[in-house]
Amino acid sequence: MEPTDNISSTTESKPSNKAKSGSTPKWEATAKARISSSLKRLVKPTTTLREKDAAEADTRHLVTDFLVEVLGYDKYENLTAEFNVKGDWADYGIRIEKQLIAFVEVKRITQKLSVTHLRQVESYALKEGVQWAILTNAQVWQVYFVQPIKGQQSEVTLVFEVDTLDDSLRPSQKTDLLFLISREGLSKGLLEKFHSAQNAVSPKTLRPILLSVDVLAAIRKEVRRKTKHLVDEKDLKSAVMRLIEE
């Protein structure tokens, strides 16, 4: 709520829970500050575990710290370790307001995350009807959207990846992306909004639009206006397809 003038001199003004219009909400600023500071603190233990090629069990300890300290989850309310998925065991299930939101699969810190690992967490998501799957080795965090197609088939999309030790990625970029999978970000549906925005301009979405009759007709008209040449419809479509596929 916007700060207001006191009604009387005896009425104390209460602190606002919302930032001024156009600025970052207080809850978001607080969450991002926590993520930023905790990321810095975890650089040393992450580097240490990597240097000694720590086992998967030790990597999980660091992932738990990350989920709690960086992403803000309550260890007992939001996280379920060794989540039973119809006979399989996911490393973590994430719940928000008692609803299962995502699965997290953990691999050894020096192990490169692979398609095989992705298939594991994808299968957990499909079995439980969960859309979000997170794959991590404590250093690299990959977030996937799992869309069921038919039966046990699905379409899996990498939403983003963050390497916490990658110096080429600005700290603010790491914070903004990880905020999307924080307790606050997921509870506000921000990861879904981010993915929707990505999907809106993806090749899968744009290709049929650009090759539609109406759009090609508009392009053909504009080409004629610019060049005074009425291009053949088939030639134009082929040219647009080549541009898309480059």
Do 113 and 133 meet the contact criterion of CB atoms below 8 Å apart?
Answer: no
Residue of higher predicted confidence among 135 and 86? 135
d(CA 170, CA 173): 5
Residue 66 is which amino acid? F
Q: Which residues lie closer than 8 Å to 117 by C-beta, 6 or more apart?
A: 105, 107, 135
Q: Are strands 140-150 and 88-96 parallel, antiparallel or unpaired?
A: unpaired
Q: Please give the Cα distance from 48 to 53 (Å, whole number).
A: 9
Q: Packing angle between helix 203-210 and helix 190-200, nearest 10 degrees?
A: 40
DSSP single-letter state for residue 192: H
Domain boundaries, given as residue ranges, for the chain: 26-190, 204-245
- Name the one residue in this structure whose structure tokens are 């206006």: 225
- By DSSP bridging, strand 132-136 and strand 88-96 are unpaired
Q: In this predicted model, what pLDDT tens digit does every residue of 67-124 receive, in sequence order?
A: 999 999 999 999 999 999 988 899 999 999 999 999 999 999 999 999 999 999 999 9
Residue 201 confidence (pLDDT): 84
Residues 26-190, CATH architecture: Alpha-Beta Complex (3.90)
First CA to last CA distance, the chain: 49
- Between CA 11 and CA 5 the distance in angstroms is 10
Of 118, 78, 76, residue with least CA distance to 101: 78
Residue 151's pLDDT is what? 63
pLDDT for the residue numbered 36: 97
* Structure confidence by residue, pLDDT tens digits, 172-230: 999 999 999 999 999 999 999 999 898 888 888 888 888 899 998 999 999 899 999 99
Residue 241 banded pLDDT, cuts 50, 70, 90: confident
Q: pLDDT tens digits, residue range 6-42?
A: 323 333 334 444 445 568 899 999 999 999 999 999 9
